[in-house]
Amino acid sequence: MKNHAFAPARRSWMRTAGIMAAMAWGGLTLAPGASAQAWPTRPVRIVIASSAGSTGDLLARMLAPRLESIWKQPVIVEAKPGASGIVGTEYVINAQDGHTLLLGTQTALMSKYTQKNLRFDPLTDLLPIAKVINYQMVIATNAPTAKRAGTLAELVALSKSTQNGLFFAGNGLTSIFNLSMAIMNQGLGLRMAAVDFPSVSAMNLALLRDDAQVMVNTPSSVKGQIENGTVVPLAAVSTERYANLPQVLTLKEATGYSGYVPLLWAGFFAPKGTPASVVQKIDQDLRAVLDDKFRKQIESTFTGTTVSSSPPAFAKEIQAETAVWRDIFKAMDFKPE
């Protein structure tokens, strides 16, 4: 485990406009003789850059059998965690078999701005195919801490009145959970230090053991603990309340927060050089499996909202979002590790 104190930083975010043509991202190409009808010709590997049993792993395993039925080839889900998503992302980028995909989040993309000596550029070496889901996220504490601070505003006050502040259960300095908390904390002012754990399940366990008193996570990851009261959500990381957690205030309602509200999502990517026809086929096949019934199942399982996407739309969203994060990192004087 590694301790990181969040450095104080001023708030800043930018309005994004003038986004260049989305498909300029990475450059979709149609390889000579490539045929989407002939793809796939071998088993397809879906790589997730997080641990087995994580939300991404479970989502991939829900999608795999449905894609198998269309592709008539085995679909293998492979977890390659490590270095805040870099290990799995680099594995996909270096894959040369034409049948390896990444089901990833913005954590992998942010590595461009958060990691030193990166051997790849995720913004040019990955081709966006389609976003699948926007996850809900909450700021949560445990039951013992909630007895002392039952609201987010009270938690902020508790952190300032406690000699050493509070501990934040993180997943690595450059993970989406840590980065989201660091950005939000510019407006919240929690006095805390991050304790990083190798997996989301380890983060959850640390909160339950009171080794940490606050974390950012998806409600689905701690659904049972929220239901039995051992984990207490204090604020929805959203501009609107969640329908399945109507009692949980938004950040603004809880503290008057008016800064940037991060969004956690998951989507499919292919390595640069994948034929445009194959990218389009994967996108079309994803649409085919995500019928209304299956969408509702995914949304219920992962407490999120499925998305109607496409390669150009997904690429455009990513360009806009990474521009915002880049500006935030600059304003925070964030130093890549």
pLDDT at 27 over 70: no
Residues 6+ apart with CB under 8 A from 310: 130, 283
Residues 6+ apart with CB under 8 A from 84: 107, 111, 114, 115, 171, 172, 173, 174, 175
DSSP letter assigned to residue 247: T
pLDDT band for position 33 (cuts 50, 70, 90): very low
pLDDT score for 114: 86
pLDDT score for 35: 53
Taking each helix axis as running N to C, give the angle between helix 311-332 and helix 106-114, from 0 to 180 degrees, rounded to the nearest 10: 40
With beta carbons less than 8 A apart as the criterion, state whether 271 and 95 touch. yes
pLDDT at 66 over 70: yes
pLDDT tens digits, 210-225: 999 999 999 999 999 9
Task: Name the pTM for this structure.
Answer: 0.85
pLDDT tens digits, 133-166: 999 999 999 999 999 999 999 999 999 999 999 9
CA pair distance 258, 239, nearest whole angstrom: 10
Tell me the two tokens of residue 8: 């104080």
Which one is predicted more confidently, 174 or 287?
Answer: 287
Which one is predicted more confidently, 172 or 8?
Answer: 172
Which one is predicted more confidently, 208 or 173?
Answer: 208
pLDDT score for 122: 93
- Rounded to 5 degrees, what angle do the CA atoms 239, 104, 294 make? 75
